[in-house]
Structure 1
Amino acid sequence: MPRFDGQTVLVTGATSGMGASHVRGFHAAGAQVVIAARDHEAATAFATDLGPSAFAVRLDVTSEPDWTAALDEVSSRFGPLSVLVNNAGTQHPAALIEDTPTEVWDRTLAVNLTGQFLGIKHATPSLREAGGGSIINIASTMGNVGQAYYAPYVASKWALRGLTRTAALELGRDNIRVNSIHPGVVATPLITESLDGGPAIGDLYSPAPFAVPRLGTPEEVTALVLHLASTDGAFATGAEFVLDGGLLLGPALAA
């Protein structure tokens, strides 16, 4: 029997990068997958490619009405939710705090933190109806350190750690596990492409000093997502899983 046979999984920010990888991973493992994204046209095309066990919902994660409508649609189409992957996130152009527009701060926290809060809030009744399940919040290694020029992003990811732990405490007795994954430098457009004509984030991080001296892949993050969402990860909740090739460890010994 496929690993997620009969389970319904909702992935936010699901049309590209890590989100698209997570969708494919769950779909291949037998899940009914909900592809949630602001770009409904792209999400619909993706769902069509995957077939009848996938469908698209339009979802701006910062919008509470969008979350309500999305979960209602999931319920009518597939029944209660078993897994929520809070993957949607945004980055911003590099800037010192004193040069960061307030609207950039507000937008970054709205997507990266409030969006995940709303996901937990609105998915919980559905997960409870299913008899329990798993919520996986995609954080970042920037949520473990300070990083010059990226104060809004760093702050949002630090706060997500506290949100994850609190949700795990509140939902444990409902058999709902809540964990966070902290990817390092993963080869996705968010990392490899410039936001404002300046250097891409990936350009600021040479993997040469890492213990594993390369960029990560979306599929490697997906493998951890699937583990945590499955019964293999049944004893993990409120935990933080760093997947960074050793970035946070500091420089490795030279070969």
Structure 2
Amino acid sequence: MRLADKTAIVTGGASGFGAGIVRKFAAEGARVMIADINAEGAAGFAAEIGSPAVAQSVDVSDKASVTAMIDTAIETFGHVDIMVNNAGVTHMPAPLEDITDEDFDRVFQVNMKSVYLTARALVPHMKARGAGTFLNIASTAGVSPRPRLNWYNASKGWMITATRTMAVELAPDGIRVNALNPVAGETPLLKSFMGEDTPETRAKFLSTIPLGRFSQPEDLGNAACFLCSDEASMLTGVCMEVDGGRCI
């Protein structure tokens, strides 16, 4: 029960890495808000998890929606200890000059502006309490970029820098900010990263990962639990690779 009496919000929590984080947090004693643009998926997952979980519909790119999510979490839980910015999107692999304005704007809004919006809405609450933890789910793409995912890579590099600068600024207020950098995993975004999901493309991708497998939702859940627990009370500004050695 490493997160006993803790409360958390996990965006994009209804599937993929977010669902792995939700499962681990609930198993370790936290009360968790499963926040997702897929309201039906969030509600079904919350029903599966049971009493530790509540569902919340959110569009992380929209200020009013994010503010409503934070307000509902504080009203429901009394306070928020942990904010996991997990929701993310990518564009399909393509030359950087061929990515449309619409795809670029969507990546910017969901991967980058969402962190700004949750910070604006939640930092005052955490400052008032003198405690809190942000965890941003970035990517190995922000550390070791791959061709044809240019603007996605850039958005995750931004998230890594945002994590570090938030950590420096908020440390005097008792707020820790860390990030995880997963390699591509068994999530709904896998096909988008690879362009197509075939045995050949999987084998080619896996050949770049020394441990020889994709990141799993449980891998992210385990790492997230540690960084958000009191065991990591001296860690802030850490951007931890969960990548099977991909970035070595």
TM-score normalised by the shorter chain: which range applies? Answer: over 0.9
Note if contact 2:89-2:107 (Cα within 8 Å) is conserved in structure 1: yes
Q: So what's the TM-score if we normalise by structure 1?
A: 0.91
Matched residue, 1:199: 196
Q: Which moved more, 1:174-183 or 1:112-121?
A: 112-121
What SS is found at the alignment partner of 1:111? helix
- How far apart, CA to CA, are the structure 1 residues paired with 2:6 and 2:43? 20
**Counterpart-to-counterpart distance in 2, 1:206 and 1:69:** 39
Q: Residues 195 and 135 (structure 1 numbering): CA distance in 2 closer, same or farther, change over 3 Å?
A: closer
Aligned position for 1:152: 151
Amino acid at match of 2:166: A
1:74-89 matches, within 5 Å, as: 74-89=73-88
Deviations 1:163-221 (A, max 9, x none): 11111111101111001111112222211x3589x424963843235331222211011
Distance in 2 of aligned mates of 1:21 and 1:113: 22
Q: Secondary structure at the match of 1:24?
A: helix
Equivalence for 1:252? none
Distance 1:233 1:79 in 2: 23
Higher RCO, 1 or 2 (CA under 8 Å, sep at least 6)? Answer: 2
Contact 1:80–1:129 under 8 Å retained in 2: no
2:37 is equivalent to residue 44 of structure 1: no
Residue in structure 2 matched with residue 188 of structure 1 by the alignment:
187
8 Å CA contact retained: 1:186, 1:216: yes
Name the residue aligned to 2:238. 239
For 1:108, the equivalent position in structure 2 comes to 107
* AA partner of residue 43 (structure 2): T
Shift of 1:78: 0.7
Which residue does 2:119 correspond to in 1? 120
For the Cα contact (< 8 Å) 2:90–2:192, is it kept in 1?
Answer: no
Q: List 4+ stretches of structure 1 deviating above 4 A.
A: none
Instruction: Please give the secondary structure, in 1, of the residue aligned with 2:247.
Output: helix
Q: For 2:193 and 2:78, how far apart are their aligned partners in 1?
A: 39
Report the CA distance between 1:52 and its aligned residue.
2.4
Once the two structures are TM-superposed, the CA of residue 51 in structure 1 deviates from its matched residue by: 2.0
TM-score under structure 2 length normalisation:
0.93
Shift of 1:41: 1.6
Equivalent AA in structure 2 for residue 137 of structure 1: N
AA matched with 1:12: T
Gaps of 5+ in 1: 250-255
Q: Distance in 1 between matches of 2:179 and 2:245?
A: 17
Separation (CA, whole Å) in 1 of partners of 2:231 and 2:24: 16
Question: Aligned letter for 1:3?
Answer: R
Change (3 A) 1:176 1:205: farther
The CA deviation string for residues 82-130 of structure 1, in whole angstroms up to 9 with x for no partner, is: 0011000001111101211111111111111111221222121232344
Runs of at least 5 residues in structure 2 that lack an aligned partner in the other structure: none
What CA distance in whole angstroms lies between the structure 2 residues aligned with 1:146 and 1:9? 30
Contact 1:168 1:177 in 2 (8 A): yes
